[in-house]
Amino acid sequence: MEAHAKDKLAPAPRRSALALSSKPIQSIDGLVAALAEWREKAIVLSPVVLVDHIAPMHQVSMRAVVIDPTVDEKGNGPECYFDGRFCKPGEVAPGKNALMKIMAAAGINKAERRDLDDRKDPYYAHVEVILVRRDFDGSWLQIIASKEMDLRPGSPETMKPEYIDNKKTGRMVAMEDTAIADKRRHIRSHAETKATERALREMMSIAQKYSADALRRLPIVVTKLVQALDPNDPEQKAALIDDALASGAKLYGPRAAGGVIRTLKAVNDEQAIDVSYMAEAPQEPAAPPAPTEPELPPEEPAAPPCGLPITREVLEVVDESRAGHVQAIAKWVEHAAKRMPPDAVDALCLKLGVGFDPLTASIPELQGLIGALKAEIARVTG
């Protein structure tokens, strides 16, 4: 690792690149010129090379991310790492912290996370994630990626290359028990992180490795489509307020009946049913309205905060007409936390709670979310 001794020094300040104009860009010509200018003085991550349309009432923000390329003698660093299998001397690979910084700057969201296995084997996990991002024309792009973690005894992921006198022998030996145990303890978190990183690299065309010297001198620049609305215009001001209150609904589309949010993949997976041959059902009297009292889990009625966007402050200011349902939702998540692993509870809140606004949701939406929570808890816990 002597070749990386310089990487342990503090990174030099990025000089000329950060001096470029960072005002949002509304014209296509301005964006093309800015991308060309940035590519000379920064590492630009933009899968799209030629742009011919920018969504109306939007502009493009150029965002710079500074990555720390320093690594220690073992090849580990705060944001990058060195792996001799694919890195040459002087090169490093972006790690989790660096990739998460890029993800945040580019406005990429995790739309869905789900388990592809049956969760019966604690040493095996197969997790899928869906990342979404707005393109220059306003459309939503999605990338689906998954990662398997097989840490059962004798599996390849529990083995490591054998070294004798700092040279590989070509054989594989078992990893230390403590190392395997640490991986098994967070197996689903590891699988989700690796799946997210895999999707992010594909969405942003992130290279597997970069020159440590280049990362030390140059920032990484990403683009993000942002709104360009005038708050002095009444209609545009209303749109800004609506977006601030319901940005999740704008991202994932309208909610299905019952308040459950459908992701892009769920909509694409749906198959149309031909009902042309079916006879029309006779007219029946409308069913009486459903009771407004929320259903609580079989425990005490208290409702502390939970993983969904429900806090003590929200419970204090929520409208009285829906306060009971909001408290019931918090209680159902607490009920799930007592019966499901922490990562499963996190996945449950992510799956059902993204875009949920307890302050504006209607009673049917709140009832639908309670029903979805109850059904999902029953499915996972059996």
Q: What is the pLDDT along the chain (382 residues), one digit of tens a residue?
A: 444 444 444 444 444 445 455 677 778 888 888 888 888 888 988 776 677 788 887 888 888 899 999 999 888 899 999 988 888 999 999 999 999 999 998 889 888 899 999 989 999 999 999 999 988 888 888 999 999 999 998 898 888 888 788 777 888 888 888 888 888 888 999 999 999 999 999 999 899 999 999 999 999 999 888 877 766 777 766 766 666 555 545 444 444 434 444 455 554 555 554 545 555 555 555 555 555 667 766 654 444 445 565 666 666 666 777 778 878 888 888 887 777 777 777 777 777 766 667 777 777 777 877 887 787 777 777 6
Structure confidence at residue 30 (pLDDT): 82
> 219: alpha, beta or left, given left = phi > 0 and alpha = psi -120 to 50?
beta
Which tokens belong to 3?
A: 């070749």
| Residue 243 to residues 42, 63, 157, 236, 357, Cα–Cα distance (Å) | 32, 22, 45, 10, 12
Sign of the torsion formed by the C-alpha atoms of 361, 362, 365 and 371: positive
* The predicted structure's pLDDT at residue 13: 44
What is residue 196's predicted lDDT score, i.e. its pLDDT?
93
Confidence (pLDDT) at 270: 52
Return the pLDDT at 206.
92
Beta bridge partners of 150: 124
Contact (Cβ atoms closer than 8 angstroms) between residue 332 and residue 377: yes
pLDDT digits (tens, 9 = 90+) for 160-205: 888 788 777 888 888 888 888 888 888 999 999 999 999 999 999 8
Q: Give 159's contacts (C-beta < 8 A, 6+ positions apart).
A: 172, 173, 174, 175
Distance in angstroms (rounded) separating the CA atoms of residues 305 and 42: 44
Contact 248, 349 (CB under 8 A): no
